[in-house]
Amino acid sequence: MSIAFALGLALSPALALQSLTIVDGPKPDANGMAVDYGNGVCRVSVFGTDGDGEQIRAEFSRRLRDGNLGVSLYGPFIRKFRQADPDANYPVTVVFDTGSSAPSRSGGYDVGGFEEYAWAGWGPGAASDATYAALKGASSFSVEMDGNSYGPFTWTGTGAVWTALDDCETDNS
């Protein structure tokens, strides 16, 4: 067996994976949302677009033991931030269609690992509670981070994200 042939056989699986498209995350239901529960956390994903018109997913999460609320953004846009300092705190604000907004306590980029995303958290207590309450009257929101705006993220039904998180909490408490 020639070295070139052996090398070709060894590389063929790696080359085949380069053309593989991996579908990330949950798929929206008829209302435009995807609900998930695991490890004591309720998650509701909604979908929108980035500045390049590519689909991205925003996932609100609520930890049941203390009400800590967070939002994560998943999509192709994250490639632009692979050099971001993972220890830096980036300001993040969620802007609701009701006119209210919610600046997070912390935010950042989780890049370079198996799953890459931008995130924000409000911490347990008043800030999470206020942001959670703002979801109750909302029909859409956008996320502003590091000088960029993502969304709007929309779904069917005013307050449906809040209702989905509340139902998840009731079902899993």
Tens of pLDDT, residue by residue over 32-49, are 889 999 999 999 999 998
Inside any domain, residue 167: yes
Peptide bond into 152 cis (omega under 30): yes
86 falls in which pLDDT band (50, 70, 90)?
Answer: confident
Domain that includes residue 96, residue range = 24-172
Q: 53 lies in a domain? A: yes
Asked, for residue 2, whether it belongs to a domain, the answer is: no
Q: What is the pLDDT of residue 62?
A: 97
Mean pLDDT of the region 72-86: 91
Does residue 13 fall inside a structural domain?
Answer: no
Q: Which residue has the higher pLDDT, 163 or 50?
A: 163
Residue 119, domain member (yes or no):
yes
DSSP E strands in 24-68: the ranges are 33-38, 41-49, 55-63
- Asked if residue 120 is part of any domain, the answer here is yes
The pLDDT tens digits of the residues spanning 15-36 come to 444 433 344 567 777 778 899 9
Structural contact between residues 36 and 46, judged by C-beta atoms closer than 8 angstroms: no
Domain count, the chain: 1
- C-alpha 80/C-alpha 84 separation (Å) is 9
Report yes or no on 14 lying in a domain.
no
Strand locations in 50-155, DSSP E? 55-63, 69-74, 92-96, 101-103, 106-110, 117-121, 140-145, 148-154
Residue 1 lies in a domain: no
Token pair belonging to 103: 């600046």
- Residue 1 pLDDT level (bands cut at 50, 70, 90): low
Mean pLDDT of 61-69: 96
